[in-house]
Amino acid sequence: MAPSSTRICGVTYDAARRLYSGDVIYAGPEGLLQLRVSAPGVPGWSYERTLHALSEAGARRRAEAPR
C-alpha cells in the first residue's frame, strides 16, 4: 500500500562529495518509517530537483527495507 504522506527534512549538501542528504519520512496506516538517504547532486539544483532526487532515493531504500 502506498504511504498516505511523505515528508523530507534535514536536507544538507556536502560540497566535497557533491552529495545531498536528508530524512525521508513516510506516514501511513502501518505507522511512521524514517529513512536517512543521500543522492548525488550539484549546488545549482533547484529546491524541487533536490527534493525529487531525495524522494527517489527514499523510494529505493523503502523498497529494499525488510518488512
Global confidence as pTM: 0.81
The sign one gets for the Cα dihedral 16, 46, 62, 26 is: positive
Look at residue 67 in the predicted model and tell me its pLDDT. Answer: 66
Beta carbons of 52 and 33 less than 8 angstroms apart: no
Q: Which of 13, 3, 2, 10 is nearest to 43 (CA)?
A: 13
- Tell me the pLDDT band of 4, cut-offs 50, 70 and 90: confident
pLDDT (tens digit per residue) in 24-56: 999 988 889 999 999 999 888 898 999 999 999
What is the grid cell recorded at 18?
Answer: 557533491
- Tell me the pLDDT band of 13, cut-offs 50, 70 and 90: very high
| Average confidence score pLDDT of the chain | 89
